[in-house]
Amino acid sequence: MSSPTTSEGALAIGEIRTGFVRHSTEVSLEEASAVLRLVPGEQVRHAGRPRAYAVSPAPLTGVDCAVPSARGRRVQGVGTVTSRATITGGRVLQVCSSATLVRSRAGYRLPWSHYLGRPGVVECLGRVDLRDAAAGFAEAEGGTRGIALGSIAEQVMDRVQGSPLLDGRLPLRAPRGSWRWAVEDGEPLFRFTVLRDGTRLVRLAVPGHGAADLLDLVEDLALHDWLLGTVETILGRAGLGSAPPDRTLRHVGPLVGHVLHHWMPAARIRPELVPLWDAVDRVHGLTRQWDALVARVRDQLALDTVAMLAGAAARRDGAAGPG
C-alpha cells in the first residue's frame, strides 16, 4: 500500500474524516476486511491487538488542480492522491486522503502514465514555495487551499459506508470529525488550529520521521478528539441532571455500549512518538476532559439507577397498601 512520504523538497498533506461505521453492531475483523477491500487484488491489513484495527489498500484519484498557498500564489499541480480507510474497534471509520507535493523536474504537464507510476505524488508545475503551501493548507482559513482532499476523503468514506455488508444503521448520531494536516521537513514544529466550523488544522515536522509515521499519529489524535467531541455532543442532548432518568438513560446508555471503551491513546503509533502524543495531550487536556466526562456519565447513571429503583419500590409499596 502506498503511504505518504516526505523527502527534501517535498511536502505531505492530507485530510481525515472520522465517524461511526453505519452498522447496528460492531463489525468483526473478517467483516471489516471485506468492507475495506477497495482495490481488487490487494489485501486489507489487520491486527487484533491492542484493539481490532483494519486498513484498506489505497485507491488512487487523479488530480489537476491548484496548489495550496497562504499568499494566494497560482501554481498548478498534477498527479494522484492516495486514500486509506481504517476501521478501529469494529465501530469507528476513518478515511485519510493524502498526497506528497514535489517540484516538477520537467516543468510542464506529462502523460498520465507518468503520474500513475508515482502514486500519491502531485508534481507542482512552476515555482512553488512548500512552506507557503503548508501554511495555506493547514494553518489558516485564508489563502488558496487548492487540492480538494476533503472531498476525496468524503467520497471514499461514502463508498465504504455504502457497502452491502453494512445495514446502514448508526449506533449513535454524531457529526463527522474533520482534520487537515501538513508534514514538512526541517526543525521540530507542531501548530494546531481549530477553525470556526470545527475543522482541526495540524502543521508539523519531526526530524527523523516521515509522513507515514506521522500520519498514524495524526489519525490517532483525530480519533480521540472525535471520541471526546462525540461524548460531549451526546451529553449535551441528554440534559444530565435536569432530564427524567429514562431520557438520560436513552441517550447515555449507548455511550457505554458503543463509545467509552474505544479510548486507548497512542495504541498504534511508533513508541518514539508517544512523548509527542503526551505533550499534545498535556497542552490540550484531552485525557483530563475524557476522564471528567466518563466520571460524570457513570455518576449520573448511578444516580438515575438509584432514583428508578426507589421509584419502583415506592410504587410497589403503594400498590400493596397498608398491612
Place of cell 515555482: 127
Q: Is the pLDDT of residue 141 over 80?
A: no
Neighbour count for residue 76 (Cβ, 10 Å): 18
SS3 134: helix
Average pLDDT, the chain: 86
Place of cell 431520557: 247
For residue 1, what pLDDT is reported?
A: 41
Mean pLDDT confidence for 216-230: 93
- Taking only the tens place, the pLDDT of each residue in 157-207 is 999 999 999 999 988 888 899 999 999 988 888 899 888 888 999 999 888
Contacts of 237 by beta carbon, 8 Å cutoff, 6+ apart: 251
First-to-last alpha carbon distance for the chain, in angstroms, is 76
* DSSP code string of 211-224: HHHHHHHHHHHHHH
- Taking only the tens place, the pLDDT of each residue in 262-299 is 899 988 888 999 998 999 888 888 999 999 988 888 87
Give this prediction's pTM: 0.87
For residue 207, what pLDDT is reported?
A: 85
Mean pLDDT confidence for 53-72: 92
Pairing of strands 53-55, 76-88: antiparallel
Instruction: List phi, psi (to 5°) of 135.
Output: -65, -40
- Taking only the tens place, the pLDDT of each residue in 86-105 is 999 999 999 999 999 999 99
Among 15-19, 227-231, 239-243, the least confident range: 239-243
Q: Which three cell numbers stand for residue 151?
A: 472531498
Contacts of 305 by beta carbon, 8 Å cutoff, 6+ apart: 245
For residue 308, what pLDDT is reported?
A: 62
**Are 209 and 273 a contacting pair, CB within 8 Å?**
yes
